[in-house]
Amino acid sequence: MGVFRFSRKQLCIPYAVFLLCFVAAPLLVIIYYAFTNGEGNFTLDNLTGFFTSPYTIGTLAYSFAIAAVTTCVCLLLAYPIAYILARSQWKRKSVIVVMFVLPMWINFTLRITALKEILTVIEGNLAFHPFLNTVVGMTYDFLPFMILPMYTTLLKLDKSLLEAAADLGAGPFQVFGKVTLPLSVPGIISGVVMVFLPSMTNYVVLDMLYNSTYIMGSLIGSFFSAYDWHNGSMIALILLLIILVFTLVTDRYTEEDAGSRGGALL
């Protein structure tokens, strides 16, 4: 028996080696580069440089602002959509849900191209409203990622709780505020994670809409194309830490569905 079990376990060796080489090791390399200079000596210059340079700090602040506003707009649009869809008795409800998810399968650069053409017709020059256009572009890109987790949570919501609240004398607003909304928090949190983090790093939307790259993700690229691995690694490390903190904080509120990004795509 022992021999058989051993052979089954062995199957994970290639994948474990793959993960060690291309996921774990690169992280160590990034940490190494982030804390060394061109001569390979230990230094904190990259770290202090990031927090003292007005350009990098400004980019971080701008990215946060973009991500926060995009997340709020997505939340305000997606919650009613998810709520109406989850509560409705429409015969073709599943078709409508699929229609909201379907654009995710179209290459996002092509979708942004389409949006750009429309916005150009409306606004003329897109560079006049950079912040607004970025938020519009990202909302357009990420909205389905927000709708789906909230819809799933609201659909699973125990209807008898709502009836109980109403029976006990709660008005429709009270039922929503004290029962529906608190119970949909896990869906809201997963939606926020799926929108906030990408909108902090997705520099392509800005880049395509009006040739600007003033966002966290593109900072790595600008150091990278200057062959400055050390500062690039520091930015990557800072982004990684932000993502890690964000994930750890939100993890306890969400249900255990690790493949949420995957689940949303399929």
Partner 1 sequence: MKRNLGKIFIGCMLLLLYLPILVLAFYSFTTSANIGSVHGFTLDNYANLFSNEELRGMILGTVLLALGSAFLATTLGTLGAIGAFYARKLTKSAVGAMNQVPVINADVVTGFSVCIMLVVVLGIDKSTFVPLVVGHMVLCAPFVYLSVVPRLKQMDASLYEAAMDLGATPRQALTKVVLPQIQPGIVSGFALAVTLSLDDYFIASYTKPATFDTISTYVVNATKGSQTEIKTALWALSTLIFLIVVLVVVVMNLTERRWGTAPKVDK
Q: Which of residues 105-164 bind partner 1 (CB under 8 A)?
A: 105-111, 113-118, 120-121, 140, 143
Given candidates 2, 7, 41, 42, which one binds partner 1 under the rule CB under 8 A? 7
Residue 16 interacts with partner 1 (CB under 8 A): yes or no = yes
- How far apart are the C-alpha atoms of 149 and 157, rounded to whole Å? 13
Given candidates 52, 177, 247, 255, which one binds partner 1 under the rule CB under 8 A? 247
Given candidates 69, 72, 75, 84, which one binds partner 1 under the rule CB under 8 A? 84
Residue 197 interacts with partner 1 (CB under 8 A): yes or no = yes
Residue 30 interacts with partner 1 (CB under 8 A): yes or no = yes
Name the minimum Å distance from CB 262 to partner 1.
Answer: 4
Nearer to partner 1, 53 or 109 (CB): 109
Residue 38 interacts with partner 1 (CB under 8 A): yes or no = no
Residue 191 interacts with partner 1 (CB under 8 A): yes or no = no
Given candidates 60, 66, 74, 81, which one binds partner 1 under the rule CB under 8 A? 81
Nearer to partner 1, 187 or 198 (CB): 198
Residue 76 interacts with partner 1 (CB under 8 A): yes or no = no
Q: Copy the structure tokens of residue 3.
A: 């021999």
Nearest to 202 by CA among 104, 114, 108: 108
Phi/psi at 42 (nearest 5 deg)?
-65, 135
Neighbours of 253 (CB within 10 A): 13
Given candidates 40, 88, 245, 253, which one binds partner 1 under the rule CB under 8 A? 88
Residue 44 interacts with partner 1 (CB under 8 A): yes or no = no
Q: Copy the structure tokens of residue 142.
A: 């990420």
Interface with partner 1 in residues 213-232 (CB under 8 A) = 217, 220-221, 224, 229, 232
Which residues, other chains included, contact 59 with Cβ-Cβ below 8 Å and sequence gap of 6+? 214, 215, 216, 219
Name the minimum Å distance from CB 121 to partner 1.
Answer: 5
**Beta-bridge partner residues of 42:** 36
- How far apart are the C-alpha atoms of 246 and 97, rounded to whole Å? 28
Interface with partner 1 in residues 168-187 (CB under 8 A) = none
Cβ 175 vs Cβ 162: under 8 Å:
yes
Name the minimum Å distance from CB 179 to partner 1.
Answer: 19
Q: Which alpha helices (DSSP H) does the chain contain, by range? A: 2-10, 13-19, 25-34, 45-52, 54-87, 93-101, 108-123, 130-156, 159-167, 172-175, 181-183, 185-201, 204-210, 216-225, 229-251, 260-265
Residue 37 interacts with partner 1 (CB under 8 A): yes or no = no
Nearer to partner 1, 13 or 168 (CB): 13
Cβ 59 vs Cβ 214: under 8 Å:
yes
Residue 22 interacts with partner 1 (CB under 8 A): yes or no = yes
